[in-house]
Amino acid sequence: MSNKFSTLKNIFIDSVEKESYVDLEDSLYNYKVLEESLNKPLKMLLVFGKPGTGKSMLLNKLYYNLKDSRDIHYFEAPILSEKEFLIRIFEAISSRSIPKNMKVNFDGLLRYCQQIRGKREIVFLLDECQLYSEALMEKIRLLSDTRVVKFVITLHKTDNEEIIAKEHFKTRIWEVIELSNANVGDLELYITKKMIQRGFIEIANMMSKKDFKYIHSHTAGNFRETNKYLYTIFDIYEYYEEVEAHKLSRKKFSRKILEMAAIRLGYIDE
Amino acid sequence: MNKTRKLEKKWYQYRLRKILSFSLLIGIAYTILALGYYFLFKVESFDFKKIFALNAEKKSLSVESNNTAPLVALKNSELNQTLPTTTSTQKEKLEVSISNENILLEPIIPIIDFDQEQRHVSAPRATKKVVPPNSNMVRAKASNYLTAKELSHLVKEDRDTTKLKNIHLHSSSRNYIETMENKFLKSKSPRDALLLAKAYYGKGYFKESEKWALQANGLDSDLEESWIIFAKAKVKLGKKDEAIQILSTYYKKSKNIKARLLIEKIKKGKL
C-alpha cells in the first residue's frame, strides 16, 4: 500500500532534523534571542518549556546553523554516566579520542580549560538536562565558570525546577528562554508550512480553520502531539485512498477521519 | 486494513451516541419549554396573578384583621348571632366556615350591587330569599346587599379611616370572588356565575365579567341579568356595537324593558 498519503504521513514522524524545522513567529523570535545570547559573555543559557514545545528542535536548528562558524557541540541524547560525559567533553574540546580503559580527571579538565582561556570559546548544547544528576550538573556549572565552555541546556518546565531555583545555579543562568505551546494560528501555520514544504499544497488547501481548531482542541498546541495526530490522520487517509477511495472527498478534509484518528489516539471516547 | 474497519465501526458508534445525546438534549429543552408554555398560557387554574394576589390578601388580612372585623360584624347581623365577638381569630374562623358549610354567599361580603345602585339607604328590601328548612345554608338577609352609597354611609359612621375601608373592600371582594368560584365549581349554578360576572364587573375586570356572564347565560339563557352584564362588559371592553346587537337580539326575544333602556344608554354613551 503506497500512495501520496504514505509520503505525507511520514513528514509528521517526530524528529529533530533540521529539515523538519518550521519557522513560526514565536520560534523565530526565540531562535534570534538564543543566537544573540551566545555572543554575550554568558556562562549558561536555559531553554525552558513543556515537553513538545520545540526545545530540541531549537537546539538542533542552532547547531546546524552554527556548526560551520563556531566551536559548537550538540549532545542530543543525555549522557547519564559522569565518566562518559567527561570523556565526551574532553574529546570535543581537545579533538582527541580517549582510549576505552581510561577516564578523564575532572580537575585536569578544569586546568586544561583554564589554559585555553581567552583563546577559544566552546559551546555545548545539552538536551533533556532534567535527566542529569545533580552532581553532574554541579560539574557543568564549574566548567562554565572557566569561561571557556558555554552551555545551552534544555529543561522540562515541570521537572528539576528546584535545581534551577538553587541560588548557585540561578546566578549562572543569565538567559532563560521559555517556550510555550502553539496557539491555533501557529498550529495552522506549522501544519500547512510542513505540508507545503514537501509539495502537498492541494491537501494543505483542503484543510479549513475548523479542522485546525479541532486538531488544536486535542493537542493543545503541543507540536509532538500534533505530529502524532497528523501521522494517524494520514495513516487512515492512506487506507481509504487505497481501499475505498470513493469515500474520500477531494475538496474537503474529512471530519470523519479527524474523529477516527482522535478515537484511535484516545482523545475521544469510542 | 481490518484495524481501520474496526476503527470505522467505533466511529459510527461514536457518531450515533453523539447524535442521540444531542437529540436528547434538544428533546429535554423542548419539553421544558412546552411545559412552561402550557402552565403559563394553557392551564387556567394555574393563574399566577391569582396566586400572588391571594397571598398578598392573606397577609393583609392577618395584619388588619382587628380593624376589619367590626365592619364585617356590622354588616352580617345574622352571622353575628353565631359569632358574637369579632377578633382576628374569629374572622379566620368565619372564612373557614364559609367555605366548609356551603353558606348562601350573597350576605357575607358587602359588594356593590350595580343593579340597585340608585336605591336609597333607608329603603327596605323588597325580596326575601326562601331558605328551605333543614338546610345548612345560612339565610341571606336583604340588608346585607349594600350599594356604594350605603357602604360609604356605614363606613363614615363606624370608621373614619378611608384607607382602612379601601383595604377592607379590596381584600373582601377578592375573597368573595375566590369563594364564589369554588362554589360555582361545585354547584354549576347560573346564579353563581352571574354573581361572579357582577363581582368582576364591579372590580373592573371586564374580560372576566364577560366570561362569567357568558357562562351564566349558557346555563340559563333566560337569565335577564346575564344579558345585561354581558352587554355592559362588552361596552367597557370597547365593543359597543356588539353590545347593542346582543341586547337587540335579547330585546326582540324577551321585550325586556331593562334591555331596551340599556340600549338607549349605550347609544347615548352614558354607560
**CA-based nearest residue to B202, from B169, B178, B179:** B169
The pLDDT value given to residue A125? 94
Q: Is the pLDDT of residue A264 over 50?
A: yes
B53 and B171 in a single domain? The answer is yes
Does residue A197 belong to any structural domain of this protein? yes
Q: B10 and A259 in contact by Cβ < 8 A?
A: no
Q: B13 and A243 in contact by Cβ < 8 A?
A: no
Which region among A194-203, B50-59, B81-90 has the lowest average model confidence (pLDDT)?
B81-90
A128 and A29 in a single domain? The answer is yes
Does residue B35 belong to any structural domain of this protein? no
Alpha carbons A234 and A200: distance in angstroms, whole number: 12
Does residue A157 belong to any structural domain of this protein? yes
Domain end residue (candidates: B162, B187, B212): B187
Q: Is the pLDDT of residue B24 over 90?
A: yes
Structural domains in chain A (count): 2
B50 and B183 in a single domain? The answer is yes
Does residue A270 belong to any structural domain of this protein? no
Q: A263 and B11 in contact by Cβ < 8 A?
A: yes
- Locate the chain A residue with the closest alpha carbon to B4: A236
A31 and A157 in a single domain? The answer is yes
Question: B97 lies in which domain range?
Answer: 46-187
The pLDDT value given to residue A19? 66
Q: How far is A199 from chain B (nearest CA, A)?
A: 27
B179 and B209 in a single domain? The answer is no
A153 and A260 in a single domain? The answer is no
The pLDDT value given to residue B49? 59
The 3-state secondary structure of A24-48, one letter per residue:
CHHHHHHHHHHHHHHCCCCCEEEEE
Q: Grid coordinates representing A25?
A: 513567529
Does residue A214 belong to any structural domain of this protein? yes
Does residue B181 belong to any structural domain of this protein? yes
Structural domains in chain B (count): 2
Question: In the structure, what pLDDT confidence band is assigned to residue A167 with cuts at 50, 70 and 90?
Answer: low
Burial, B123: exposed, middle or buried (Cβ in 10 Å; 0-12, 13-18, 19+)? Answer: exposed
> Number of C-alpha atoms within 13 angstroms, CB side, residue A7?
10
DSSP state at residue B127: -
Average pLDDT over residues B79-96: 44
**CA-based nearest residue to B98, from B72, B132, B124:** B72
**CA-based nearest residue to A218, from A210, A207, A226, A208:** A226
Q: Which of B11, B12, B14, B15 to mutate against chain A (most A CBs within 10 Å)? A: B11
Task: State whether the Cα torsion B176-B178-B182-B187 is positive or negative.
Answer: positive
Alpha carbons B97 and B137: distance in angstroms, whole number: 11
Chain segment B118-140, per-residue pLDDT in tens: 544 444 454 445 545 554 554 54
The pLDDT value given to residue B53? 63
Average pLDDT over residues A59-82: 90
Which region among A50-59, A233-242, B70-79, B169-178 has the lowest average model confidence (pLDDT)?
B70-79
B83 and B176 in a single domain? The answer is yes
Specify whether the CB–CB gap between A3 and A239 falls below 8 A.
Answer: no
B100 and B180 in a single domain? The answer is yes
Alpha carbons B144 and B165: distance in angstroms, whole number: 17
Average pLDDT of chain B? Answer: 69
A175 and A250 in a single domain? The answer is no
Question: In the structure, what pLDDT confidence band is assigned to residue B101 with cuts at 50, 70 and 90?
Answer: very low
A228 and A123 in a single domain? The answer is no
B216 and B167 in a single domain? The answer is no
Nearest to A236 among B4, B13, B14 (CB): B4
Question: A228 lies in which domain range?
Answer: 4-15+183-264
**CA-based nearest residue to A221, from A52, A85, A87:** A52
Does residue A20 belong to any structural domain of this protein? no
For residue A144, give the CATH number of its domain.
3.40.50.300
A114 and A223 in a single domain? The answer is no
* Percent of chain A residues past pLDDT 70, beyond the cut: 90
pTM given for the model: 0.51
Question: In the structure, what pLDDT confidence band is assigned to residue B12 with cuts at 50, 70 and 90?
Answer: very high
Question: In the structure, what pLDDT confidence band is assigned to residue A38 with cuts at 50, 70 and 90?
Answer: confident
Q: Which of B5, B12, B13, B14 to mutate against chain A (most A CBs within 10 Å)? A: B14
Which residues from B are below 8 Å from A264, CB to CB? Answer: 7
Nearest to B11 among A240, A243, A260 (CB): A260
Q: Which residue's C-alpha cell is 545555579?
A: A169
Domain end residue (candidates: B165, B187, B209): B187
B85 and B51 in a single domain? The answer is yes
ipTM of the assembly?
0.71
For residue B271, give the CATH number of its domain.
1.25.40
Ranges assigned E (strand) in B69-131: none
Strand order in the sheet with A44-49: A72-75, A122-126, A149-156, A44-49, A173-179
In this complex, is the C-beta atom of A266 within 8 Å of any C-beta atom belonging to chain B? no
A108 and A220 in a single domain? The answer is no
A135 and A251 in a single domain? The answer is no
A162 and A196 in a single domain? The answer is no
B152 and B207 in a single domain? The answer is no
A52 and A169 in a single domain? The answer is yes
Q: Is the pLDDT of residue B144 over 60?
A: no
Between B163 and B233, where is the model more confident? B233
A188 and A108 in a single domain? The answer is no
Between B42 and A91, where is the model more confident? A91
Q: Is the pLDDT of residue B71 over 80?
A: no
List phi, psi (to 5°) of A220. Answer: 55, 30
A124 and A189 in a single domain? The answer is no
Alpha carbons B178 and A105: distance in angstroms, whole number: 105
